[in-house]
Chains A and B, each alone.
Chain A
């Protein structure tokens, strides 16, 4: 999958987040991923030919989990290769479904690519934060390499 628009609603540990659809290199179901034990930070891999894309499992606070329930993965475009987020579900939404307002997280950014969130979808008192794709990719890469 390589969505060209809209958003993906990603459920992590019971909490929803948004990702712009065009930031996703692929969305995969669990059965299409390779799960390897051994204490690595990577929860699963997307293997296609010589390409191996890692995917990480995070809690709602975006801290790394060693184990937990997930059904899908969304892989965020990144250099040199996409890096993935394991989720309970990943649901595509059109731009008609979602209105994202700009949002700046106060405080120091967790990555050199800036704040992790750049927008939010507000519905009444319910708010869904939208990831900044570059910052999310940087954060996931950072988590993977900080052994």
Chain B
């Protein structure tokens, strides 16, 4: 007999940073690419690591750590060879433009390790807490052994495009 209770699943990507692992819907993510060189953008905030070429587009690459925890160490500092590959598995997650933004405004986030696909069933995660002091984390949920932070995309858009 089929259960009356339906289970909905969320396909998501776990995006590790040095501060916390983010959980973002897979539909927000265009591609996960290897770390590559990026060109500095003068007069940008220090969390803007530069601009990289992705599918012949200029895509800004950012480090989320200073936005989540201003005292943290960034993932994206480049090595002397310009590749920034300072940790095995570190990638750049290319995000689609945030809601309401221009269609060319893709952006990349540097991860501290290999991102992982996750399927979260409804009711699987339990809210742990809001993250005090963080402008871009809406809440943290516990999924199995992992505490995963859910970003507030509106707040992120306000920071990226004030």
Contacts and interface: CB of A to CB of B under 8 A. Distances in A.
B51 A107 contact: no
Interface in B109-162: 159-162
B48 A125 contact: no
Interface stretch (B7-15, B20-28, B72-80, B99-107): B99-107
Nearest to B43: A110
A85 to B, nearest CB: 13
Contacts of A106: 44-45, 48, 60, 62, 107, 159-161
Interface stretch (A23-31, A39-47, A114-122): A114-122
A107 B48 contact: yes
B85 interface: no
B57 to A, nearest CB: 6
Given A104-B60, A105-B44, A129-B42, 18 more contacts: A61-B42, A62-B43, A101-B56, A101-B58, A103-B104, A105-B48, A105-B60, A106-B107, A107-B45, A108-B45, A116-B42, A120-B51, A122-B57, A124-B53, A125-B37, A125-B52, A126-B53, A127-B39
A102 interface: yes
A117 B48 CA distance: 14
A113 interface: no
A61 B43 contact: yes
B58 A103 contact: yes
Interface of B: 36-37, 39-45, 47-48, 51-53, 56-58, 60, 62, 102, 104-105, 107, 159-162
Interface in A62-112: 62, 101-110
B42 to A, nearest CB: 4
A102 B43 contact: no
Contacts of A107: 44-45, 47-48, 159-160, 162
Contacts of A105: 41, 44, 48, 60
Contacts of A103: 51, 58, 60, 104
A56 B41 CA distance: 20
B102 A127 contact: no
Contacts of A119: 58
A60 interface: yes
Contacts of A101: 56-58, 104
B56 to A, nearest CB: 5
B51 A61 contact: no
A104 B59 CA distance: 9
B104 A108 contact: no
Given A104-B105, A106-B107, A127-B58, A122 B43 contact: no
